[in-house]
Chains A and B, each alone.
Chain A
Amino acid sequence: MSEDDAVAGPTDDGQLVRVEGFLVRLDLAYEPDGHLWVAPPDGSTGNVRIGLDPLGVETTGTVAHLVVGSVGTRVRRGEPLGSLEAEKFVGPLVAPLTGVIRAVNPALATPRQVVEDPYGTWVAEVLPEAWEEESAQLVRGADRLPAWFADEVRRFRLEGVLAQ
């Protein structure tokens, strides 16, 4: 990693910063335990898109399968939204919000897309039931995200799940 990579600084569009070698979008909220990103509700449908953030993808290992519950299923915050299987790992994708699954990204059939473009490849659209209340429990804000993300990278390094 170059010295520059360790320094948080805005990229061209102002919404991305690079923190400890990872890109972080400042306009999204993050579920801190599962490292899922959550986009603000769509103005017309109210749906929010959810995906894996780059650190969540990286620390899982080679992603092999991603499965999300069926459209119409109600999920509760903190309970499984789906599951993720990597070369040596399997575990739940924990729902960051309570709501009903409105869409599942067909691109999940090619998990490589999530690895290559974690912000561009959403995994599910959910119509949230309590956006205001539950989104307050997510990590967000351009002033807060770079430091939080840097702490997370250091934590994962200590856990030994990041390549060095």
Chain B
Amino acid sequence: MSAPTTSPAAPTVPVALGRPSGNGSQESPTWVRVSGASAIALRLRSGRFGRSFAFGGINLLLTYDDGCRSDCAYCGLARTRPGTYDEKSFIRVEWPLVATDELVARMAAHEERLTRLCISMVTHPRAFRDTVTITEAIRSSVRTPLSVLVAPPTLNRRKLERLADLGVDMIGVGLDAVTEDLFRSLRTEVPAGGAGLSWDKYWSVVSDARDLFGPWKVNCHLLVGLGERDRDLLELITALHDQQVLSYLFCFNPEPDSRLGEREKTPLRRWRRIQLARFLVQERGFRLQDFGFDDEGGLRAILGPPEVVRDAIRSGEPFMTNGCPGEQGEPGCTRPYGSYRPSEPFRDFPFLPNGEDLAVLEAELAVEELLERGRR
């Protein structure tokens, strides 16, 4: 015999994942989506990570048959992106559907290994109500710290208070575009309408959340690579730091068929340098004046103490995923392979980079060039 000729079907290992029902019944709050990594961690799906590391950050996403009402140019869930909501990816990964009750039961069963939970809202009229329902279900069974990545158009101060009362300890705001002009062009003035997404509304929610949840309990997601300048990013990061609001960086990686689907992904060197600069501001007290920019607003020099910069790089910490912490302050939400393929360099490390990783990172950064310019 030269080769097998039978075609047995692949094994069907029972899992608790949903299947499209066609009757519109698999929606939040009864159903939610979970990230692929979360599905593996909770044994909802088979699979493994490319490198061995502890993983306990579980990400949930609300789900509706008629999808997210927003139409952001870069987003996999955008209203005008081709495909049904069920087929759409979000931050380039598939989000399997799972029954909320089953998910909560699994979280409880695996609670010892979990570090952080996060519910991502979408812009939908039922999003707040359903987030409350899901939060209550989680809090009744699981003690792991819980964040909500909010959809500002669906919220007001009173609703944020309600989330705090329910035991949510951190709030994320997906600002993504770091200037008002970019925000307007990519999120407000869009083909399917802005769905209430406005720069002012987002900042009003950041401000209310900061008041209600306290210092370092609110974070803004900033997407690097939408057309902003390095200076725009550093201005915003330092301004947020002054308000004791965290900046979480995300690396732009085009979602196929989105309106920015043909845009180049952010060059690695630029990304590494922005990661480093954010860390220096947030963890080492650097200010905007510790950085030098060229006429186009590109980062061209670091003027702060070189040894502090080199120590920061050697620590590996600047290049780890920006995410909400676990109960003891350890990395909680690490989103492995969230904005890059497993065969590509880690854009964010879901663990502390090792010596080999650091050697590669240093080459990618070419930081001496920035330090040398800073000395001139």
Please list the residues of chain A having a beta carbon within 8 angstroms of any beta carbon in chain B: 1, 11, 13, 15-16, 21-23, 25, 27-28, 37, 39-45, 47, 49, 51, 54-55, 57-62, 64-65, 83, 85-91, 115-120, 122, 125, 159-164
Contact = CB atoms under 8 A, between A and B. Distances in A.
B343 interface: yes
Interface in B1-29: 1-15
B43 interface: yes
B10 A86 contact: no
B341 to A, nearest CB: 7
A62 B15 CA distance: 14
Contacts of A1: 13-14
Contact of B36 (A58, A87, A115): A87
B49 interface: yes
Contacts of B15: 163-164
A58 B1 contact: no
A115 B10 contact: yes
B8 A161 contact: no
A91 B46 contact: no
Contacts of B45: 61-62, 163
Interface of B: 1-15, 36-37, 40, 43-50, 93-94, 336-337, 341-343
A5 B37 CA distance: 27
A125 B5 CA distance: 14
B4 A161 contact: no
A87 B12 contact: no
Nearest to A46: B2
14 contacts: A27-B1, A39-B3, A42-B1, A49-B2, A65-B343, A88-B40, A89-B47, A90-B343, A116-B9, A117-B8, A119-B8, A120-B8, A159-B48, A164-B15
Contacts of B49: 88-89
A23 B343 contact: no
B6 A120 contact: yes
Given A90-B342, A117-B7, A61 B48 contact: yes
A39 B2 contact: yes
B334 to A, nearest CB: 12
Contacts of A45: 2
B47 A85 contact: no
Nearest to A164: B43
B280 to A, nearest CB: 30
A122 B3 contact: yes
A76 to B, nearest CB: 22
B13 to A, nearest CB: 5
A15 B4 CA distance: 10
A91 to B, nearest CB: 7
A58 B50 contact: no
A155 to B, nearest CB: 13
Contact of A62 (B4, B8, B43, B47): B47
Given A57-B10, A162-B13, 6 more contacts: A16-B6, A39-B4, A88-B37, A117-B10, A122-B3, A163-B43
Nearest to B2: A42
B7 A54 contact: no
A162 B14 CA distance: 10
Contacts of B14: 1, 21, 163
A17 B58 CA distance: 37
A87 B10 contact: no
A30 to B, nearest CB: 12
Nearest to A156: B46
Nearest to B337: A88
Nearest to A59: B46
* Top 8 A-B residue pairs of the complex, sorted by shortest distance between their CB atoms: A61-B47, A42-B2, A120-B7, A49-B3, A90-B342, A22-B11, A163-B15, A164-B43
Contacts of A11: 8
A23 B2 contact: no
B11 A54 contact: yes
A64 B15 CA distance: 20
Contact of A58 (B5, B10, B93): B10
A57 B48 CA distance: 11
A58 B46 contact: yes
Nearest to A122: B3
A161 B1 contact: no
A13 B50 contact: no
Contacts of B1: 27, 39-40, 42
